[in-house]
Structure 1
Amino acid sequence: MADSSAGLDNGRPDGFIQFGAPIALSDSDPIGWASLAFMPPYCFTPSCIAGPALRQATSARLGSPPEQMILRIQNQVDLNQQRNWRFPSMTDWTNALRAAYCQNQGRTGLRYFMPAQSSPIHGIILNSRFYDLTSVGVSVRDWLWSAMQTPDQVTDLVEEGSLVQELGVDPFACPVN
């Protein structure tokens, strides 16, 4: 389960892939993270440090048994991630998140809980939002419970919301709840 960790790349030289990959994949001190040894054997390229590519590569190995899955929990407005990964604006970050979702929608073993709250939220599962925050009328708690009880029946709960009007983001390019 991943909470508020989309791992999106802004497509610029200061982005997750161009700036982060040399650090993440290097085992040289003092800044190398030596993460190459921990990467899946089927995805070694720099783009694999970014969440969407890594989840796509991992998906082929998930789902059998149905308990093997990645559950993504992410509000669509997250100031921490927008700033940390140097997206010029919240609109740019949210558009990248929505595009990444559509890229991986329906893949085996990947399930998403993505409410469309217009106020920034970073971190959902370790506070009262676990009980109170909903997507398509279902709380995070109830969604996770259903994933544990009937993993082969859990579905994505992703809202379009009013972010197109409020923030000027693009609508999802794929069907959502």
Structure 2
Amino acid sequence: MESNAISAGVGSLISTAEIKVLICYVISGVKSAVPGQLLANQLNIEGIANYFEVMDALEALLKAGNLTYNEVDDTYQVTEVGASAADTLKNILPFTIKEKAFALTAKMIARLKNAKDTKIETIKENGFMYLICTAVENGIDLMSVKLMVTDETQAAAIKEKFLDNPSLVYTGLVDLLTSDK
């Protein structure tokens, strides 16, 4: 499977070697453990690389000692060897692909962290549907907002926006409630 990412109908990278460099590059850049399947899905959805090629590359990088794998949370981290190789070889990758892959990986990591630092639930009371969004820090609820929603679709849209940046919602609400306007 050395260069069939394009022939599989998906992707911008055409060789497994490029995909390996990209994986080490983005994991090294975000300086965080990265869920492999989520990374493969995101690279596939964005048209950067084929899902199966990414999964094969993760396995090969693990066997070569470029990555470590944590079975508990199903994540990969780059080793010193992998980070060094990515730094040396990063110029073989198109700039736009590197930047796009890094940005989507950083956003994915931020959303995972935000999901851990929030509680979101949908409840029904007295015939109405409500979405309760709570921002949590160190086990303490910083803010909880209960919103009446029209349906599951609206609840899902609000949930996604809240997960994008719960800190922004919190600071925006505090600013709004404490402003002189």
TM range (shorter): under 0.3
The higher radius of gyration belongs to 2
TM-score, with normalisation over the residues of structure 1? 0.27
Higher strand residue share = 2
TM norm structure 2: 0.26
